[in-house]
Amino acid sequence: MPEDRPKEPGDRSDIRAGVGWLLLDMTLVSGGMTMLVKMQGATYPAFQLVFIRAMIGLMFILPLIWKHRYEMRRIRYPWRNIVRITCNAIALTSNFVAITLLPLATVNAVGFSRPLVTMGLAVLMLGETVSRIRWAGASIAFVGVLFIIAPGGAAFDWRISVIMISVVFGALATVQTRALKLENSTVMMVFYTVGLAVITAIPSALTWKPVATADWMPLLGIGFLAQLGQYCFLQAYRSADASILAPIGYLSIIFVTAVGYFAFHEVPEPRVIIGVAIILSALIGASVIEYRRT
């Protein structure tokens, strides 16, 4: 069977495809999954949610594992895959831990520095070129995110370092995903899902709370949406440069705000509307300026 080799990113069709996949990922994860996690997080420990998410995700991709069982034996970059899933697992787990230790606004505010870290690492580790326009757009967008979150007053203590661990390892995982663009996407999903399950198994066992029958359906939804989102995320970074996609990650705040408004009756404050305007203006403005210069 001929190998499905992705095109080299760089032309505009690849960039549009990458952005489209990333937006779909944010719809599934920042929208749907976030809503379910918020509902269930009030009842079950964070480690337990991550572990169940990983196990359910693995169940969903078992048919793919069987279908591509021969390809699974021909992993091109086993050690790089191990590094990637380890970074992913540390990032996600530390993010859940941070949510339990600090106010959500603080976690989100610090966490939104991840795209900037990703851009920097993409330059250092992958040799990607980031224009001044992209840097300017990302920086202005970051100001908009801080304007929305408004985390002022949070004292810097050791708990903040947990969020920074999530930021750094999340950015490292993103860059590794880009470096593995020639790896089979099924292999990458399996490594990611199994890695989450292995790393969170012991902590979840220590904090485990019995699951009510009625709660299994939303927990199943968390795993399903997470797995679909992971597939979209992989496709995005196989299509376009990490330095191009990283600033788009700021748009996830729009999805989260929409979930808060429609699902939990959280009415956005004026500063949220202003912040969103800053983000969109920065990202769209940078894209238009760079497009006209090419």
More confident residue, 266 or 292: 292
For the cut 60, the answer to whether the pLDDT of residue 151 exceeds it is no
CB 239 within 8 A of CB 185: no
Mean pLDDT of 136-146: 81
**Rounded CA separation 281/247 (Å):** 12
Answer for the pair 80, 180: CB distance below 8 angstroms, yes or no.
yes
Which residue shows structure tokens 């992989």? Answer: 234
The DSSP-derived string for 207-236 is: H--PPPGGGHHHHHHHHHHHHHHHHHHHHH
Give 2's pLDDT tier (boundaries 50, 70, 90): very low
268 vs 266: CA distance, rounded Å? 6
Task: Find out whether 180 and 234 touch, Cβ atoms under 8 Å.
Answer: no
- What size, in residues, is the chain? 294
- Predicted local confidence at residue 102, as pLDDT: 64
More reliable by pLDDT, 72 or 236: 236
Give the phi and the psi of residue 169 in degrees, each rounded to 5.
Answer: -70, -30
Tokens 């990703």 correspond to what residue? 118
Q: How far apart are CA 12 and CA 34, in angstroms?
A: 31
Residues 187-194 have a mean pLDDT of 73
| Cβ neighbours of 274 (radius 10 Å) | 13
Q: What is the pLDDT of residue 290?
A: 74
Task: Grade residue 10 by pLDDT with cuts at 50, 70 and 90.
Answer: low
The pLDDT value given to residue 4 = 46
Q: Is residue 184's pLDDT more than 80? A: no
**Domain boundaries, given as residue ranges, for the chain:** 12-131+152-242
- List pLDDT tens digits, range 87-115: 888 888 787 777 667 655 666 666 777 77
Asked whether the predicted pLDDT for residue 256 surpasses 90, the reply is no
Ramachandran category for residue 71: left, alpha or beta (phi over 0 → left; psi -120 to 50 → alpha) = alpha
Q: Which residue pairs from 216-219 have beta carbons closer than 8 angstroms and sit at least 24 positions apart in sequence?
A: 218/36, 218/39, 218/40, 219/36, 219/40, 219/49, 219/52, 219/53, 219/56
Q: Is the pLDDT of residue 22 over 80?
A: yes
pLDDT for 155 equals 45
Q: pLDDT by residue (tens digit) across 197-235?
A: 888 888 899 999 999 999 999 888 988 888 889 789 888
Q: What integer pLDDT is reported at residue 219 of this predicted model?
A: 87
Share of the chain above pLDDT 70, in %: 84
Show the tokens assigned to 269: 């404050």
Average pLDDT rounded to a whole number, residues 179-190:
72
